């Protein structure tokens, strides 16, 4: 332990964040990291406690506590404090495939489980990891791992999101020959087209893809397996197949007027903006434009917040965000003790920007849409919304959000973005491989395994576990790679 009294001597210090009025003028990342010397002090705050929930990845009360990758958090924190950056990178790489992704987009399960958070602010683990990995890239320590011996085994990975990339990286380093199939024009899956640039610059993904290509991984874009490429071809040409296509089936809203124009799923909206940004710096105007429009975002969570922030950058006249559930408390309740995930109010960057620009929080809690109203051209013009209240369902006994009579009202909505989550894997892929699915349409495997009901076909990530976090997807990809390797090699 580098500094036994560090957590007493030093306060948490986070990266400098550009002011909302400045950052909404571009799509660049808005956090400016601390200097390495300042970050060393943050490493000193780690208590290296005996019970390390930060790296446990346990499920407590139905939610994860600590890192699912089981990163060696206290060790890397200590090495950060000591300024041993290369050794810190080597230790981080033992458990983590892509720290440069999670240090930008992960909600930091490790920090939520940090013992320092009991009576103060948790250790800045996420920022420490960013300092480690970006120092490693800058110093040239992140080098290709080209296997000295090839096994002769061929593996197809369908999907280039975080789970597919993690599986491909691990299997390639084991000596197998790996080809990654991606239906889009660029690689990265959710990282590329589901997360905006201001959270994750796409050059960060490109950097890692180039390294994996140097290591021997083959990438094929515009390759839609199940449509353009028959499943039987992959089963014929490859020894094993991993399906890592994500939970890309968006949840819809079935209300009168849903067929109106200018109603889009959030993921389609975000993809149109990012693709236009990458293709032409938005000059081709091929994205869904919110300029001058009242925008209604249906759904909270990260995707809803990303829609708010993106709409603001593109000139929305106003942004309203509907959340079905009640507003969370400001701090933990007695029923939500540490080290459970804290169910508390979070005002994310998009909401901060809306408050700065429009003078109020865009979120309306305990509210849902009952109808979309069209203009003379068939486009959405307004939405009828209604308040909800929690009630116990008489049949199931569960608490449900029930409409409150007399609370219906109308709001302006000339662009509607549905960010209500995802229902699971897309049917054409599972049908092509004839894999069984569970009631949530996730690909079915035996508990704790990654092999599907079809021999030689495995699955990982959101397609396996349902909509989840990038860190879980990476963990699933790594675990699926080990399962495939054992199945191929017999040990």
DSSP 301-351: HHHHHHHHHHHHHTTBSEEEEE-SSPPPPSS--TTS-TTSPP------HHH
| Domain edge (last residue) among 89, 104, 139 | 139
**Cα separation, 293 vs 438, whole angstroms:** 40
450/397 same-domain check: no
pLDDT score for 338: 92
Looking at the structure, tell me whether residues 232 and 100 fall in a common domain.
no
Q: What is the pLDDT of residue 51?
A: 83
The pLDDT of residue 472: 97
Per-residue pLDDT of the chain (491 residues; tens, 9 = 90+): 668 899 999 999 999 999 999 999 999 999 999 999 999 999 999 988 888 899 999 999 888 999 999 999 999 999 999 999 999 999 999 999 999 999 999 999 999 999 999 889 999 999 999 999 999 999 999 999 999 999 999 999 999 999 999 999 999 999 999 999 999 999 999 999 999 999 999 999 999 999 999 999 999 999 999 999 999 999 999 999 999 999 988 999 999 999 999 999 999 999 999 999 999 999 999 999 999 999 999 998 899 999 999 999 999 999 999 999 999 999 999 999 999 999 999 999 999 999 999 999 999 999 999 999 999 999 999 999 999 999 988 888 888 999 999 999 999 999 999 999 998 899 999 999 999 999 889 999 988 899 999 999 999 999 999 999 999 999 999 999 999 999 999 99
8-state DSSP, 99: H
* Same domain membership, residue 384 and residue 283: yes
User: Which tokens go with 418?
Assistant: 């549905």
Q: Which residues pair with 418 in a beta bridge?
A: 265, 298
Tell me: do 410 and 436 sit in the same domain. no
Which residue in the block uniquely carries the two structure tokens 């399960």?
A: 109
Is residue 147 one of the residues assigned to a domain?
no
User: Hey, what are 394's tokens?
Assistant: 């008489």
DSSP bridge partners of 177 = 154
Domain boundary among 139, 167, 189: 139
* Bridge partner list, 241: 156, 457
- Where does a domain end: 74, 106, 139? 139
Same domain, 291 and 407: yes
Query: pLDDT at position 395, please?
Result: 83
Residue 254 lies in a domain: no
Whether residue 127 sits in one domain with residue 22: yes
| Residues 458, 481 within the same domain | yes
Residue 467 maps to a domain: yes
- Is 255 domain-assigned? no
pLDDT digits (tens, 9 = 90+) for 333-382: 999 999 999 999 999 999 999 999 999 999 999 999 999 999 999 999 99
Instruction: Give the β-pairing of 409-412 and 240-243.
Output: unpaired
Shortest CA distance to 183 belongs to which of 154, 220, 237?
Answer: 220
Look at the chain and report how many structural domains it folds into. 3
Residue 149 located in a structural domain:
no
My answer on whether 390 and 299 are in the same domain is yes
Q: Distance of CA 96 to CAs 99, 187, 291, 461, Å?
A: 6, 20, 40, 15
Q: Are residues 217 and 298 in the same domain?
A: no
Q: What per-residue string of b and e applies to 296-311 under the rule 16 or more CB within 10 Å gives b?
A: bbbbbebbbbbbbbbb
Could you tell me the pTM of the whole model?
A: 0.96
257 assigned to some structural domain:
no
Instruction: Give me the CATH number covering residue 440.
Output: 3.50.50.60
pLDDT at 47: 87
**Structural tokens at position 428:** 């054409």
Predicted pLDDT at 119: 86
Residues 412 and 288 in one domain: yes
> Which CATH number do you get for residue 121?
1.10.1060.10
Same domain, 20 and 126: yes
Please compute, for residue 127, the number of CA atoms within 13 A of its CA located in the half-sphere on the CB side: 25
Domain extent, residue 397, equals 263-418
CA distance readout (Å), 202 to 174, 184, 187, 277: 27, 15, 10, 10
Is 258 a member of any domain? no
Residue 477: inside a domain, yes or no? yes
Distance CA 417, CA 184 (A): 21
The 3-state DSSP class for residue 154 equals strand
Tell whether 210 and 273 lie within a shared domain.
no
């Amino acid at each position: 332990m580098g500094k036994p009294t560090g957590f007493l001597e030093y306060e948490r210090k986070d990266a400098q964040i550009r002011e909302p009025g400045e950052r909404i003028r571009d799509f660049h990342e808005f956090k400016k990291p601390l200097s390495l010397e300042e970050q060393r002090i943050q490493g000193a705050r780690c208590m290296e406690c005996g019970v390390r929930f930060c790296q446990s990845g346990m499920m407590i009360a139905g939610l994860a506590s600590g890192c699912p990758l089981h990163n060696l958090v206290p060790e890397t924190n200590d090495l950060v404090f000591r300024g041993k950056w290369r050794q810190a990178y080597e230790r981080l790489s033992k458990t983590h495939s892509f720290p440069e992704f999670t240090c930008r987009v992960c909600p930091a399960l490790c920090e939520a489980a940090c013992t320092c958070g009991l009576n103060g602010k948790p250790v800045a683990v996420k920022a420490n990891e960013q300092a480690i990995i970006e120092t490693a890239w800058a110093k040239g320590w992140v080098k290709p791992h080209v296997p000295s011996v090839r096994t002769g085994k061929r593996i197809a990975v369908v999907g280039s999101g975080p789970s597919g990339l993690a599986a491909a990286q691990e299997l390639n380093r084991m000596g197998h020959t790996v080809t990654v199939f991606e239906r889009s024009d660029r690689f990265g899956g959710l990282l590329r087209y589901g997360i905006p640039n201001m959270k994750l610059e796409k050059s960060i993904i490109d950097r890692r893809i180039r390294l994996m290509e140097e290591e021997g991984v083959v990438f094929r874009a515009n390759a839609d397996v199940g449509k353009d490429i028959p499943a039987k071809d992959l089963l014929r040409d490859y020894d094993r197949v991993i399906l890592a296509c994500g939970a890309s089936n968006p949840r819809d809203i079935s209300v009168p007027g849903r067929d109106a124009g200018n109603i889009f799923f959030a993921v389609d909206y975000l993809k149109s903006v990012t693709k236009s940004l990458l293709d032409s710096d938005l000059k081709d105007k091929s994205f869904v434009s919110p300029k001058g429009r009242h925008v209604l975002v249906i759904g909270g969570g990260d995707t809803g917040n990303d829609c708010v922030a993106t709409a603001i950058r593109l000139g929305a006249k106003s942004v309203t965000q509907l959340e079905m559930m009640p507003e969370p408390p400001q701090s933990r309740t007695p029923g939500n003790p540490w080290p459970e995930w804290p169910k508390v109010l979070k005002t994310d960057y998009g909401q901060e920007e809306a408050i700065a620009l429009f003078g109020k929080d865009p979120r309306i809690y305990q509210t849902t849409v009952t109808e979309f109203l069209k203009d003379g051209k068939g486009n959405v013009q307004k939405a009828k919304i209604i308040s909800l209240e929690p009630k116990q369902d008489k049949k199931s006994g569960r608490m449900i959000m029930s409409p409150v009579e007399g609370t219906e009202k109308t709001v302006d909505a000339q662009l509607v973005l549905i960010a209500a989550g995802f229902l699971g894997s897309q049917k054409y892929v599972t049908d092509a491989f004839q894999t069984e699915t569970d009631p949530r349409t996730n690909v079915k495997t035996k508990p704790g395994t990654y092999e599907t009901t079809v021999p030689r076909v495995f699955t990982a990530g959101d397609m396996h576990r349902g909509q989840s976090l990038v860190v879980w997807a990476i963990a699933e990809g790594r675990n699926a790679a080990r399962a495939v390797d054992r199945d191929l090699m017999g040990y």
